[in-house]
Structure 1
Amino acid sequence: MLRYAAAERNIGPIGDVLAHYLQNGMKILELASGTGQQSAALADRFPQVTFQPSEVDPRLIHSIVGYVDHHRVVPFIFQSLICSYQFPNLRVPLHIDVTSVCTGWALPSDLRPGSVDAILVVNLLHISDFAATNGVFEAASSLLRPDGILVVYGPFSREGSVFPESNRAFDRSLREQNPQWGLRDTRQLRELGISLNLTLVEQHEMPANNLTIVFRKR
């Protein structure tokens, strides 16, 4: 199983924000789940919520499977016997390319269009082409149930301004690596959401000058 220090730092604050929105029985589709450590930690924190991770990178899918296996079986001792308890709320990962049309994604039947409670995207938009951003929002528009939420986390440009200097430097370095990368602007995302029946309802300040932005399906 792979483990990223940045993901480890993000888990607690992201979970704190999600606690305001998640309810028992919800099903969450996580796009670009990375190593899987975040999916497993959130599934631990919200045992009555089902998490469906996904990835496009085979190496990361393999890592997610490791976290799923570790999460699902927890050993304990009962009357001197070693037993195990199953946590079924973390599913095996799906192979999803967010730049492809979501109607072509191989989703389970209970995550069909118009039925997903929430979509979670962490640290993807700034390190991918804008086609990925479009793909995420188009998927949210199609898959979310009415009043469902899209939650995106990461560094963002805010209403046309990038601050503080650390974020400006990070934005420059991203664009030097790939001209299609860079911090997405909140105004741009809000307008994209409006065009797809997604309303920006909240921006949560996060550690290290990041934001968690919540959109709701109209």
Structure 2
Amino acid sequence: MTNDLPFSQACENNKAPILEKLQEIFNTPAKALEIGTLTGQHAVHFAKAMPHLQWQPSDHPEAADLCRPRLEQAALPNILPVVELDVSDANWPVETFQWAFSANTAHIMSWSEVEKMFRGIGERLSEDGAFCLYGPFNNQGEYSSDSNRRFDQHLRAQASHMGIRDLVDISALAESAGMTLAENHPMPANNRLLVFRPIH
């Protein structure tokens, strides 16, 4: 039963507006790596709507099993078996891809892990590819809303390494990894979809 599967209300709320943008960006047949598949709701929704993609789910070794029940139930031919991916490990289980996507990970990871995620993607992303990163972001130290300010305080109270990242820092990090922030789309609930493309 669907109701028995791991479920995220945030994923359910944001999957449609994210898909609308991804369909414009992930527009050619290729492999799409998802970092942080979690419950698998995004993977199933996106792979079903974009059958031209080979969707590669991945998650940290400690969390990779969470998405398996939903992916197995969906049984979509274009969803590849989930792989265990620790961004801090230099040896990623995926060698190359044209598209990459991650939602609500940058504020959960430590900054060191965010750096390694960008570096790992930058090293493996094809020249005509794109990396889409979804979540809340600050701009030059300013919160985009009171709800994001409260969320940031909640994160930092949970663990000192967590917190909403700043667009200035993220852009600089992307540049150091050979990518540039090409698009910045406003999304519902004071989130953004950032689109990074390789620097030529």
Please report the TM-score for the alignment, with normalisation by the length of structure 2: 0.92
The answer to whether the 8 A contact 1:71-1:90 is kept is no
Q: Could you tell me which of 48, 55, 71 is aligned with 2:52?
A: 48
Q: State the match for 1:33 in structure 2.
A: 37
Cα shift at 1:163: 2.4
- The yes-or-no answer on 1:6 pairing with 2:10 is yes
Q: State the match for 1:156 in structure 2.
A: 137
Output the CA distance in 2 between the equivalents of 1:37 and 1:206.
18
Give the secondary-structure state (helix, strand or coil) at the position aligned to 1:203.
strand
Please report the TM-score for the alignment, with normalisation by the length of structure 1: 0.85
Determine which structure has more spread, i.e. the larger CA radius of gyration: 1
Q: Percent identity over the alignment?
A: 30
**Cα distance per residue 1:22-61 (max 9 Å; x no partner):** 1241210001111111101111111111100001154x43
Output the CA distance in 1 between the equivalents of 2:156 and 2:183.
27
**Cα distance per residue 1:102-126 (max 9 Å; x no partner):** xx1223xxxx2xx411111100011
List alignment gaps of at least 5 residues for structure 1: 73-86
Give the counterpart letter for 2:46 in structure 1: L
Give the secondary-structure state (helix, strand or coil) at the position aligned to 1:91.
coil
Output the CA distance in 2 between the equivalents of 1:106 and 1:186.
28
Give the counterpart letter for 1:98 in structure 2: V
CA RMSD of aligned residues (A): 1.3
Give the counterpart letter for 2:141 in structure 1: G
Cα shift at 1:99: 2.0
Alignment of structure 1 residues 50-129 onto 2, 5 Å: 50-58=54-62, 60-72=63-75, 87-101=76-90, 104-107=91-94, 112=95, 115-129=96-110
Cα shift at 1:166: 1.1
List alignment gaps of at least 5 residues for structure 2: none
Residue correspondences, number: 195
Q: State the match for 1:187 in structure 2.
A: 168
**Cα distance per residue 1:110-153 (max 9 Å; x no partner):** xx2xx411111100011121122112100111110113111100
